[in-house]
Chains A and B, each alone.
Chain A
Amino acid sequence: MKTQPPNSTETLLEASTQFKVVRSIDKNFRRVTFGLAIGIGLILVWITYSLLVIALPAIQTFGLGFLVDSTWDPVKNIYGALPHVYGTILSSFLALLFSVPLGVGVAIFLTENFLAPKILQPIALTIELLAAIPSVVYGLWGLFVFLPAIKPLFQGLNHNFGWIPFFSTEPGGRQLLGASLVLAIMILPTIIAISRDTLTSLPPKLRQGAYGLGATRWETIMLVLLPAALSGIVGSIMLALGRALGETMAMAMLIGNANQANISWLAPASTLSSLIANQFGEASGLQKSSLFYEALILMVLTLLVNIFAQMLVSRFQQVE
C-alpha cells in the first residue's frame, strides 16, 4: 500500500486529517513488535554475555582445566568444578533411571484405556498440577519427610550390599541417592505429560491395524505404539534431563553440599547449581567469578540438552 504524494488526486481516506497519524501509529506499532521479537533472541545472548563477563577472571586463571580440577579452596583461591559436574550429571542420570520407566508406565496407563476416562482424567489432571509445585516445597518435603523415611533403606543397602562401590559408605542424613530420588519425583510430571501427549497423538490407524492383525493390547503397545512414539518419549526425557540438570533448591537442601566426587551414591555430594546457591552469599572476587564459570558450564549443558530435545520433539511433530 503505497501512499501517493498529497498534491496528487487524494482519496477520501487520505484526505481525512487523521490519516497520517493513524498510519504512523500503525507503522511504529509494527516496528515495536518487530524490535521486541528480535529482543527475545538478544536476551539469550545477553544472559550468556553477562555470565561470561563476570566469569572471565576465573576462565583466564583456570582455563579448561577448571573442568577436571577437584579443589575448591577459598583460602588458596584455587577452584575446580569436577565434583560439581560429576554430582550434577550423576544425580540427573540416577533421577532419569527411576523416573523414565515410571513416567512411561504412567503415560501408557493414562492413554491405553486401562480404566474408564472418568477415573483417568482426574489422575491426569492431578499429575499435571503437580508439575506446578515449587522445587523448594519438594526440598522441604524431602528434608523433613522423605529422607528420614528412606534412611533405614539406605542403611540396609550399605550393610547388605556394601561391597558394591556405589553403596560403600555409611549413609548420612543427606546424600546423593536421596536427593536424586526426590529429583526423580520432581521430573516425573514432565515425562508423563509429554509421553502422554505423544501417545495420544499417534494415528489411530496404528492401533486399529495392530488389533486387526490379532495383537493383544500389550503386543500393540510394545511392538507398535512405543516404537512409533519413541522420538517423542526421548524428547520428553531430554526435556526432563534439562530440568534435572538445572534444578537448584531441592538439591541445595538435600544433597549435602560436600565438595567431593565420591564413587558411593550414599555419600554427600554437590551439584553445579547447589554449589552456587550455597556459596554465592559469602563469595567474592575470584570465588564469585568461579561460581559464574560454573553457571556458564551449567548453561551450556542445559542448552545442548534442550536444543537436542527440541529437535527430537519437533521431528516427531513433523512425522505426525
Chain B
Amino acid sequence: MTPLSPQSSSLGSEFALSANRKLFGKVMTGLVFTCVAISLIPLASILFMVIVNGLAGFSPAVFTELPPAAGMQGGGLRNAIIGTIITCLIGALISVPFGVLTAIYTIEFSQGNWIFKLVQFCTNVLSGVPSIIAGLFAYGIVVLTTGSFSAVAGGVALSVLMLPTIVRTAEEGLKSVPKTTRMAAVGIGATNFQSVTQIVLPAAMPFIATGVTLSIARAAGETAPLLFTCLFNQYDIQGPWQPTATLSVLIYNFAISPYKNQQQLAWVAALIILVTILGISIFARIISRRKVY
C-alpha cells in the first residue's frame, strides 16, 4: 500500500501528480458517473411508465367497480383494494403484538442472554426467507387445515414477512428510550410491567408506529405469498374465510392476460400500490424524526 512512490513524480515537479495517476482518477470518476446514470435510468423508467400508463386508465370507476371478466370493457378494482386492506390488516393483527412483545423481551428483560442472540439470529434469517416460502407455509398450515383459500391464510403469510421488520423497529424504538426513564419508573415503585407499558412503550410509540406502517406498506405489494393463500376472487368477499382478490395478485393475473383492458387495469393497480407504498415510506421518514424524549 504505497500510494505515493518516489518514482511516480518527475524530477522537475516534485509534488505534481504524474499523468498516469491523473488519468486513472478521471477514468474512474467517469466510470462512477456512468454507473449512477445506468442505475437511475431503469429506475426512473419504472416510475415514469407506471405513472403514465396508470394515469391513462385511471377513472373514479376504478374504486367503485368490480374487475372486468376476460374480454369485457371497463371495470374497476373495488374488491381488490378492499382485499389488500383486509389481508394486510390481518397480517398486522398477528405480527404486531407478536413482534412488539418479542422486542420487549429482548430489550427490557433478556439482558443479552442466549435468547436475545437467538431472536437476533432468527429475525435476520426470517427476513431472508423468500416470500413464496411464506406463502407455501401459510398454505400448509391454514389452507390445508381449513380446506379453503382465504384472506386469513394470506394474512398469516404476510405476518411471517412483516415480523422481522416489526421486531427490529420495535427494538430500535425501545433502545431509543433512555435508561434513566426506566430507573425513574422503578425508583417510584413501578413493576416491570408498569414501567414498560406506561412509560417505555408510549415513549417508543412513534418509532414503533412508523415501523409498523412501513411493514404494512411493504406487505401491500407482496404477491408471491398471496398466490396460493388468498387466490383471487372475481367478486366482493363475504368474509375472511373466502378466497380474496388483492391488488398485487390482480396485477399478476391481468399482466399475463391477453386482453388490453385487463392489462390497462394492471397498470392502474400498480400505480395505486406504488403511490401508497412510496407515500407511506416518505411520510414515515418525516414523522420518525420526532422524538418523545
Residues of A within 8 A of B (CB): 13, 22-23, 25-26, 29-30, 32-34, 36-41, 43-44, 46-47, 50-51, 53-54, 101-103, 105-106, 108-109, 114, 123, 125-127, 129-130, 132-141, 143-146, 185, 188, 192, 210, 213-224, 239, 242-243, 245-249, 252-253, 273, 276-277, 280-281, 292, 295, 298-299, 302-303, 305-307, 309-310
B195 → chain A, closest Cβ, in Å? 10
- Whether the Cβ atoms of B129 and A40 lie closer than 8 Å is no
**Is there contact, CB below 8 Å, between A26 and B45?**
no
Main secondary structure of the interface of B (DSSP, over half): helix
Interface majority SS (helix, strand, loop, mixed), chain A = helix
**A-B pairs with beta carbons under 8 Å apart, 25 shown:** A26-B194, A37-B102, A38-B115, A44-B125, A53-B140, A103-B39, A105-B32, A127-B39, A129-B278, A133-B46, A133-B274, A134-B277, A135-B223, A136-B223, A136-B270, A141-B46, A144-B255, A216-B17, A246-B129, A246-B131, A249-B252, A295-B133, A298-B132, A298-B133, A303-B125
For B222, give the chain A residue with the smallest CB separation.
A134
Q: Which residues of B contact A245 (CB under 8 A)?
A: 130
> Which residues of B (1-53) have their CB < 8 Å from a CB of A?
1, 3-4, 17, 21-22, 24-25, 28-29, 31-36, 38-40, 42-43, 45-46, 49-50, 53
Chain A residues, CB < 8 A from B122: 40-41, 43-44
Complex alpha-carbon distance, A146 and B48, angstroms:
13
A277 touches B126 (CB 8 A): no
> With an 8 A cutoff between CB atoms, is B81 at the interface?
no
Q: Which residues of B contact A243 (CB under 8 A)?
A: 128
With an 8 Å Cβ cutoff, the count of chain B residues facing the other chain is 90
Which of chain B's residues have a CB closer than 8 A to the CB of A47?
129, 133-134, 137, 160
**Is there contact, CB below 8 Å, between A248 and B131?**
yes
Which of B34, B102, B252, B281 is in CB contact (< 8 Å) with A253?
B252
The answer to the question of B119 belonging to the interface, with a C-beta cut-off of 8 Å to chain A, is yes
> B36's contact among A105, A213, A220, by CB below 8 Å, is which?
A105
B191 touches A249 (CB 8 A): no
Q: How far is the CA of A245 from the CA of B128 in the complex (A)?
A: 10
Closest chain B residue, CB of each to CB of A221? B28
Q: Give the distance to chain B from A161, nearest Cβ to Cβ, in Å.
A: 21
Chain B residues with CB under 8 A of A126? 40, 43
Q: Complex: how many Å from CA A217 to CA B192?
A: 53
Interface pair B128/A242, CB less than 8 Å apart: yes
Q: Give A310 to B17 CA distance when docked, in angstroms.
A: 41
Smallest CB-CB A-B distances: 7 pairs: A246-B130, A134-B221, A105-B35, A215-B3, A306-B128, A33-B105, A248-B224
A-side contacts of B259, CB under 8 Å: none
CB contact list, B95-134 vs A, under 8 A: 98, 101-102, 104-106, 108-110, 115, 118-119, 121-126, 128-134
Measured between beta carbons, the chain B residues less than 8 angstroms from A138 are: 46
Contact between B49 and A302 (Cβ–Cβ < 8 Å)? no
